[in-house]
């Protein structure tokens, strides 16, 4: 266990070229060109720990992903008083969150998807359309 801790702790000291070389050794492919040194080190640390300690059981990995790793939902809660603004095809759309629901164009709707579909004319995920995090 100490050996893996030392290997992971040494990664940030390698510099970009050293991390890229280590990536080639570990993954047997060239690292993605867009990866920063920090991202290279994180990817390497994950793979080294995975090799030393084993992978998560798939069921446990799914459970952790669905639970947001214990932090609850990553999507922000919309509260009365919030305002969502989206510029789309040259026009600005504003949705106000009220106690009754979502207010858009002088009408109240039950979901953002209803509003996004109304605006675009096709089915859309409302949270995605308004740029809310996943």
Q: What is the pLDDT of residues 76-112, one digit of tens each?
A: 688 999 999 999 999 999 999 999 999 999 999 999 9
Using CA atoms, how far residue 43 sits from 15, 27, 37, in Å, is 14, 10, 10
**What's the pLDDT score for residue 69?**
47
Q: What is the mean pLDDT of residues 12-27?
A: 94
Asked if residue 108 lies in contact with residue 101, where contact means CB atoms within 8 angstroms, the answer is yes
Number of Cβ within 10 Å of residue 31's Cβ equals: 19
In the chain, where the domains are located: 2-58, 83-129
Q: Which residues contact 9 (CB under 8 A, 6 or more apart)?
A: none
């Amino acid at each position: 266990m100490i050996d893996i801790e030392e290997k992971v702790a040494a990664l940030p000291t390698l510099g970009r070229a050293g991390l890229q070389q280590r990536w080639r050794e570990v993954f047997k492919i060239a690292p993605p060109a867009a990866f920063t040194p920090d991202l290279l080190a994180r990817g390497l640390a994950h793979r080294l720990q995975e090799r030393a300690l084993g992978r998560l059981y798939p069921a446990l990995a799914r459970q952790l992903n669905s639970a947001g790793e214990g932090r609850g939902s990553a999507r922000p809660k919309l509260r009365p008083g919030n305002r969502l603004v989206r510029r789309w095809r040259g026009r600005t759309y504003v949705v106000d969150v009220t106690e009754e629901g979502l207010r858009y164009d002088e009408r109240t709707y039950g979901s953002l998807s209803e509003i996004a579909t109304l605006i675009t004319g096709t089915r859309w995920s409302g949270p995605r359309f308004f740029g809310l995090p996943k």
